[in-house]
């Protein structure tokens, strides 16, 4: 009996224990199933705003909201958990002591209770995030829309409230208009009253109203809008005449002019540098904008952002990258007028030339839409027993492009569309003379869906170029620029082991044979020599007349005089100004030096005046004849609307006498031989010039054209057509020293430049433990060696 009772007690105790264990397990399971508020992962960020955005986005995904507890803007920022509780607005009960009331007030505050704290510090130009305390002592928010941060106004909304208040609108009317642009706005008229009260007190700073809720961007949410508004819309420039003394001193005009922003890590940000260069309209001398001389820290930040984006971008499917390019080319077509006007205002070229600039660049974007087919590798099956080998093309990593001013849209589009479509990330350094088109293109690329950090822009001059060349994370550099700069950049980048291609300004020739079609040849020479004010690398600057210039002289001058010189925005303009006052002075000096050296000035355009644009950098069409190879204009790149004429005279000498009828055959033979010697001399003149990138011949003789094609030593050859930029699917070639590097920028050469080959050999066999490696003996017979 006692034994039975004892067993019953034991079973009862076991039941209680089991029930207790079950309850503990259930409570533990419930605890594990509850959502955990994890701290954001530490990392390195380009700037303070990106760090705050990262912490804020991650916090919202975990069910809590962060706010700025402490900030020293250029050094450190401390972020804490914003619980969203009440402030100290609870009434004290009658029977509550002062100590109890103080305790309750503290526990009711938003920041006192939660120990979570994240710290961001600036180190060597980058912001590093660390978690000081990642724990929370409260439950995650079930509905973030109930949190007070969801009812705060953005910076733009506060400014709109200020403007509408001054216009006499009431809070409900203000709120109604704000909701038209932001339907998700949860604020009430009471919040509008609070903002108005602060504005009446003179507190116009909007920092207190900013929220850390996630911001919608074009990249993350695929909205068809640019991530940041244009810099001209944010801070429109005040146009006034440029003072040359201020230009030389490079002093900034604070708070007056729109500064062109950098693009770093997907954000358009103003440079920290206080020094800027004025961008001047060549036709009016009005300052269009300012280009900051960015710091080396900003270059490092751009390289870091590109390097961080590379790992995910290279793994993005090629079809997805191509879709972004399809959208990009669509947006370029949409904003063609905007791009052309920006080019004309900064560069000075006519609107027709500006449109052609954009269209040639657009062809490259269209080519990039199908670049995946050019990245296809090769496969060889069964090179040995059960062994296959194949090659694949992989992106290099972070690449960079340095642009010249002659083609503000086409040159950047030569570079980054192909590079990023191949899977690279890119840093672009536009010309400091014409930065606007490159920034507009970057805005369109971001709008098309290019992820943050894939494309970055840093403005500046030689210091920025040197920083790009010296950075070990930059794997390849594409460059278009003048001869004076290229040699130093090429040697500096090559010394760092970078892959580099340099396209240099050139002296292009045209050889005109006596039998050439007069009207067609003159039209081609005038268009190629004076188009774009001669400021393009493929301009025909020198014409070699075989047989003398006399039959061509008058008609050439007549065609040149028909060119209308005017500001690029005028509808009747054929020829715009040169890029700057300094360039105009240099071109005029070269003309004067060669005139004094014996050249004949057939047409002088130095003193041309354009009504309404008297201060513009205009030079009319200028023609110099009797030019020799020793003259300054021939030895240097004029890069202006100046056409140099040389002549090769046939050495024919015979006397006319009574026996002329008997010497017809001999004379004809003598003339043929003399012409052959003259075309040889013309070819020798072209080949002797070490800076010849292209050459054309104008003739009706297939024999002369074929001889010219075979013997001429340049990369681009034209027959009855001037030299022009080739379509992107063909290979743009140029001879050294006008090109430095091993791979060109167009066609398959461009794909090969931005990729590297990896060869893979594989074997799939069911073997007990050894793998056979194929080799060959001296007779080429396949051997099998066992590797244990």
Spell out a b/e string for 597-628, using b for 16 or more CB atoms within 10 Å of the CB, else e: eebebbbbbeeeebeebebbbbbbbbbbbbbe
HEC assignment per residue over 472-514: CCEEEEEEEECHHHHHHHHHHHHHCCCEEEEEECCCEEEEECC
Of 442, 427, 438, the C-alpha closest to 473 is 427
Answer whether 141's CB lies under 8 Å from 149's CB.
Answer: no
Give CA–CA dist 120/47, Å, rounded. 10
Burial (CB < 10 A; 0-12, 13-18, 19+), residue 424, is buried
Number of other residues whose CB lies within 10 A of the CB of residue 30: 9
Residue 630 has, within 13 A of its CA and on its CB side, a CA count of 2
Give the SS3 label for residue 322: helix
Say which of 114, 242, 422, 537 is annotated catalytic.
537
The yes-or-no answer on residue 537 being catalytic is yes
Write out the two tokens for 366: 């269209």
Answer whether 519's CB lies under 8 Å from 562's CB.
Answer: no
CA distance between the termini of the chain: 75
- Alpha carbon dihedral 339, 340, 344, 349, in 10-degree steps, equals 130
Write out the two tokens for 572: 């009747």
In eight-state DSSP terms, residue 219 is: H
Plot region of 25 (φ>0 → left; ψ -120 to 50 → alpha; else → beta): alpha
Burial (CB < 10 A; 0-12, 13-18, 19+), residue 324, is buried
Of 392, 448, 443, 458, the C-alpha closest to 422 is 392
In eight-state DSSP terms, residue 725 is: P
Give the SS3 label for residue 175: helix
Asked whether the bond before 692 is cis by omega within 30 degrees of 0, the reply is: no
Number of other residues whose CB lies within 10 A of the CB of residue 707: 17
Q: What contacts 704, CB < 8 A, 6 or more positions away?
A: 513, 679, 697
Number of other residues whose CB lies within 10 A of the CB of residue 178: 20
The distance of Cα 260 from the centroid of its chain, to the nearest Å, equals: 13
Give CA–CA dist 11/4, Å, rounded. 11
Answer whether 550's CB lies under 8 Å from 602's CB.
Answer: no
Residue 580 has, within 13 A of its CA and on its CB side, a CA count of 16
Give CA–CA dist 574/531, Å, rounded. 8
Kind of pairing, strands 499-504 and 425-429? Answer: unpaired
Active site residues: 537
């Amino acid at each position: 009996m006692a034994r039975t009772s004892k067993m019953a007690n034991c079973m009862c105790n076991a039941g209680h224990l089991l029930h207790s264990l079950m309850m503990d397990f259930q409570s533990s399971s419930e605890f594990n199933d509850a959502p955990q508020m994890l701290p954001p992962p530490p990392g390195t960020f380009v700037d303070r705003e990106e760090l705050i955005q990262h912490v804020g986005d991650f916090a919202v995904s975990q069910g809590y909201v962060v706010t700025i507890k402490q900030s020293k803007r250029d050094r450190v920022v401390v972020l804490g958990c914003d619980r969203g509780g009440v402030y100290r607005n609870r009434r004290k009960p009658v029977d509550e002591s002062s100590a109890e009331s103080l305790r309750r007030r503290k526990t009711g505050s938003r920041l006192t209770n939660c120990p979570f704290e994240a710290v961001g510090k600036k180190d060597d130009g980058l912001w590093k995030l660390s978690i000081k305390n990642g724990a929370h002592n409260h439950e995650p928010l079930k509905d973030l829309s109930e949190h007070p941060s969801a009812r705060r106004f953005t910076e733009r909304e506060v400014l709109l409230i200020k403007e509408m208040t001054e216009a006499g609108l009431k809070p409900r009317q203000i709120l109604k208009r704000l909701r038209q642009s932001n339907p998700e706005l949860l604020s009430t008229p009471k919040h509008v009253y609070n903002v108005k009260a602060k504005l009446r007190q003179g507190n116009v700073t909007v920092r207190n109203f900013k929220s850390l809720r996630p911001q919608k961007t074009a990249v993350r949410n695929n909205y068809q809008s640019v991530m940041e508004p244009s810099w001209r819309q944010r801070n429109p420039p005040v146009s006034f005449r440029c003072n040359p003394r201020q230009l030389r001193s490079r002093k900034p005009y604070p708070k007056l002019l729109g500064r062109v922003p950098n693009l770093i890590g997907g954000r358009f940000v103003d440079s920290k540098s206080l020094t800027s260069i004025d961008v001047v309209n060549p036709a009016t001398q009005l300052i269009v904008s300012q280009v900051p001389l960015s710091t080396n820290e900003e270059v490092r930040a751009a390289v870091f952002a590109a390097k961080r984006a590379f790992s995910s971008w290279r793994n993005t499917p090629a079809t997805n990258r191509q879709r972004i390019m399809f959208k990009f080319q669509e947006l370029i077509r949409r904003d063609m007028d905007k791009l052309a006007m920006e080019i004309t205002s900064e560069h000075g070229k006519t609107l027709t030339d500006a449109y052609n600039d954009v269209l040639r660049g657009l062809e490259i974007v269209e080519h990039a839409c199908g670049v995946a087919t050019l990245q296809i590798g090769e496969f060889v099956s069964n090179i040995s027993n059960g062994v296959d080998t194949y090659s694949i093309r992989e992106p290099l990593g972070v690449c960079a492009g340095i642009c010249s001013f002659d083609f503000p849209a086409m040159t950047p589009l030569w570079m980054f569309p192909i590079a990023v479509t191949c899977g690279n990330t890119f840093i672009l350094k536009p010309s400091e003379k014409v930065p606007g088109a490159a920034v507009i293109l970057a805005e369109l690329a971001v709008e098309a869906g290019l992820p943050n950090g894939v494309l970055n822009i840093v403005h500046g001059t030689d210091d920025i170029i040197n920083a790009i060349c010296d950075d070990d994370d930059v794997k390849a550099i594409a460059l278009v620029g003048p001869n004076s700069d290229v040699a130093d950049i090429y040697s500096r980048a090559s010394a760092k082991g970078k892959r580099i291609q340099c396209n240099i300004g050139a002296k292009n020739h045209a050889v005109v044979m006596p039998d050439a079609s007069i009207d067609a040849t003159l039209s081609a020479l005038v268009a190629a020599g004076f188009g774009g004010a001669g400021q393009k690398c493929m301009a025909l600057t020198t014409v070699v007349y075989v047989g003398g210039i006399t039959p061509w002289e008058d008609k050439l001058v007549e065609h040149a005089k028909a060119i209308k010189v005017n500001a690029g925005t005028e509808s009747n303009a054929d020829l715009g100004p040169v890029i700057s006052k300094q360039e105009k002075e240099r071109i005029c000096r070269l003309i004067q030096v060669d005139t004094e050296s014996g050249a004949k000035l057939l047409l002088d355009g130095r003193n041309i005046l354009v009504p309404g644009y008297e201060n513009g950098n205009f030079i009319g069409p200028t023609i110099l004849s009797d030019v020799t190879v020793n003259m300054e204009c021939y030895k240097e790149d004029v890069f202006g609307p100046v056409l140099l004429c040389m002549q090769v005279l046939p050495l024919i000498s015979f006397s006319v006498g009574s026996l002329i009828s008997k010497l017809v055959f001999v004379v004809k033979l003598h003339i043929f031989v003399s012409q052959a010697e003259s075309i040889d001399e013309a070819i020798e003149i072209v080949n002797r010039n070490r800076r010849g990138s292209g050459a054309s011949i104008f003739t009706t003789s297939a024999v002369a054209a074929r001889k010219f094609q075979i013997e001429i030593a340049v990369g681009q050859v034209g027959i009855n057509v001037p030299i022009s930029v080739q379509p992107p699917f063909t290979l743009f070639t140029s001879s050294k020293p006008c090109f430095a590097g091993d791979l060109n920028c167009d066609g398959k050469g461009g794909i090969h430049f931005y990729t590297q080959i990896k060869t893979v050999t594989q074997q799939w066999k069911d073997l007990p433990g050894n793998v056979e490696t194929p080799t060959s003996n001296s007779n080429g017979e396949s051997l099998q060696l066992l590797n244990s």
